[in-house]
Amino acid sequence: MKRISWDQYFMAQSHLLALRSTCTRLMVGATIVRDKRIIAGGYNGSISGDVHCVDDGCYVVDGHCIRTIHAEMNAILQCAKFGVPTEGAEIYVTHFPCVNCCKVIIQSGIKAVYYASDYKNHPYAEELFASAGVRVEQVELEEMILDRKNSEKLAFTASLLQKLSEAGLPEEEIRSLHDQANRLYTSS
């Protein structure tokens, strides 16, 4: 069995963290790593003890939910709270960081940002990362590699489509089923 890469492992952790998000506008997770060890994780949500967007709706001002602390900031604050240095660490985030998170990441001494999805990538954030010497790389989560039975499912689906074709199902229906299977196996 082939093991998943470190990048895929840490990105998967960030996607799991995002499932804890309490903001209904966008679920984001962040994992801070040093020397291939997770040192903190965060997701976007309200401050501890306050109401959450999922309960009372987002508190939107100028197009931004001001109730929410971003995942990257929550992870960095977790390090600060427990005295864990971030200098030289890396951060894995489900979405490209906003300008404010970019500045916090740079100031915290994090040396690399790995993100899965583009999200309103601001040119100024990209410029700041570049001028600060922070490595930025897109690492999309390959969800199918997390499914240990993926190969068997793909083979089974291909076999079914082949049998339907041999049974005389019209080609356009086979193509439609094939397209549906592709969307199912490749959706995120």
Active site residues: 72
Type of residue at 75: A
153: part of which helix (H) or strand (E)? helix 150-166
Q: Say if CB 119 and CB 138 are below 8 A apart.
A: no
Q: Identify the helix (H) or strand (E) that includes residue 55.
A: helix 53-56
Q: What is the DSSP letter of 25?
A: S
**Cα–Cα distance for residue pair 184/188, rounded to 1 Å:** 9
- Collapsed DSSP state (helix, strand, coil) of residue 168: coil
Q: What is the distance between the alpha carbons of residues 41 and 79, in angstroms, rounded to a whole number?
A: 9
Using the 8-state DSSP alphabet, how is residue 81 labeled?
H
